[in-house]
Amino acid sequence: MKHLFIKYFFVLAVIAFNYKIMGTSISGNITYTGPDTNKIFVAAFTDPNLDSEAIPVQIDAPGAYTISGLADGVYYLVSVMTASTDNHFEMTDPWGVYGTWGKLTPVTLSGGIGVTGIDITLVDGTLENPNPFYRSYIEPEQTFQLPASTQDGIDPCISTDGTFIYLYKHDYPSAPSGKIYKINPSNAEVIFTYYLTQESIPNGVSWIHNMTFYKGEFWATGGYGDPSGTGYIEGVFKVDLAASRSSNQLPLGSSVVLNGGFASDGNFLYAGISTMDKHGIVKFDPALVSEVPSAPLIELSDSPEYLCYGNNYLWAATDSVSQIEPLTGTIIKKYNLPSSAAEVYLNDLFWSYDEEENTLSCYSIGVVGDANNENTFAADGFYLSQNYPNPFNPVTNITFTIPSASFVTLKIFDALGKVISTLIAEEKPAGIYSQKWYANGLTSGVYFYQLQAGSFTETRKLILLQ
């Protein structure tokens, strides 16, 4: 059954704030008159959009609650009852907020004096008024089974050079070796295998946590051999795959933990980090720093598990995938993609690796819905992407963007200009869309696809190989 990951802030309920015995509190009552009888989470946020770290408490049934250990400040309260035993939220789970959804009422603490009477009524979620913390699984556009030769190994990560996908695996715990598979993303064929020696010798590669492609070479987070002695140093470094050597090493800054994703926009590196009091993403030019910075470009409630760069944006995964403007660190929107999908962005698709199934899956950003249950996307302009895969047999994906509501036609032509198929001919709102074309029964050759939207027209070539 499809259901949603619990909002990550609630899983912290048992461990995140047990140490806080000082401070003041917010208390009230949770009421509910429906039939469900399950545990209830109540959480306080310092951000009205709920983008801050949550301070949660759990109660076993409707009634009194108290959130203790709060500092003076302004808070916003939400509550959800879980209808499942595995802490996942369903569309129909009871929920409520203090105030109204979209305009939460602030609760102000000052002078160390607690506030009482912050009562919340839970209502059952419905199709028309769903639990706003519900988020459904998004099905991949396509899933590729990798060869059995890539199955063994542990601690995998994937990266891309813009053409191929590279899958890294450590051979086994404490092994002095690993492998990096160069994979054709159109058919999951392994083009080449790099055999990596992993030893803590001077300028060696001790281990790899994540990889990215930066200025024509691979860089990694992990451990590298101490250039001046024995042992390893944790940090960021360039990897020579053929020689199993590290260079351009950058140790960690003070109190920095590299526990998140790793990405590049071609000019800068981005890494998910944690410090004693902060989580987020650091941005740096490795030629201009002597260590991995500790001051995040953007602070998040947790270090992003995955990072990737594509379509001029940085994409970061916590419980969903956030679209981030890389110059300022501004979060544009959050999408209902699986968090693992933000590991690689290639050919207008997000890619993830499933270690258990040994598969690569790709996801489209087209109309997947954002983390606030919206199905719109603020597009900057008209754009028609190159189809993927290309060449293809027998199905391919065509992605396009329209910045405003338009009557849209998407047609397929043969080499003589004859219309083979009309895939779309309808009014569409602004957004990013992905359309499949099934070329069953057609002969191999060159075809063309044309997008018309308002006064915009663009044509691209695609190749069918039967």
**210 or 35, which is more confident:** 210
Beta bridge partners of 29: 64
CA distance 440 to 465: 11
List the structure tokens of 18.
Answer: 């047990």
Give φ, ψ of 340 to 5 degrees: -65, -15
Q: What is the pLDDT of residue 75?
A: 95
Predicted confidence (pLDDT) per residue in 451-463, tens digit: 999 888 888 888 8
How far out from the chain centre does Cα 204 lie?
A: 31
- Residue 19 predicted with pLDDT over 60: no
Predicted confidence (pLDDT) per residue in 286-313, tens digit: 999 999 999 888 887 677 889 999 888 9
Predicted confidence (pLDDT) per residue in 370-416, tens digit: 444 433 333 346 778 777 777 888 888 787 878 778 899 999 999 88
Sequence-ordered alpha helix ranges (H) in 228-309: none
Q: What is the pLDDT of residue 15?
A: 32
- Strands across the sheet with 63-70, in order? 63-70, 24-31, 120-121
Q: Which residues contact 94 (CB under 8 A, 6 or more apart)?
A: 32, 34, 36, 80, 81, 83, 122, 123, 124, 125, 131
How far out from the chain centre does Cα 229 lie?
A: 38
CATH second-level architecture of 142-364?
Answer: 6 Propeller (2.120)
Predicted confidence (pLDDT) per residue in 168-202, tens digit: 999 999 899 999 999 999 999 999 999 999 999 99
CA distance 262 to 220: 8
Q: What is the pLDDT of residue 20?
A: 37
Q: Report the chain's mean pLDDT, rounded to a whole number.
A: 84
CATH of 8-121, one of 1.20.140.10, 1.10.1660.10, 2.60.40.1120, 3.90.580.10: 2.60.40.1120
Give the total residue count for the chain: 466
CA distance 11 to 386: 41
State the sign of the Cα–Cα–Cα–Cα dihedral 322, 326, 330, 332: negative
CATH topology of domain 383-464: Immunoglobulin-like (2.60.40)
Beta bridge partners of 421: 412
Stated pTM of the model: 0.61
Q: Which residues contact 128 (CB under 8 A, 6 or more apart)?
A: none
* Same fold yes or no, 142-364 and 383-464: no
Q: What is the pLDDT of residue 456?
A: 85
Longest CA span, the chain: 78
Domain residue spans of the chain = 8-121, 142-364, 383-464
Q: What is the pLDDT of residue 110?
A: 93
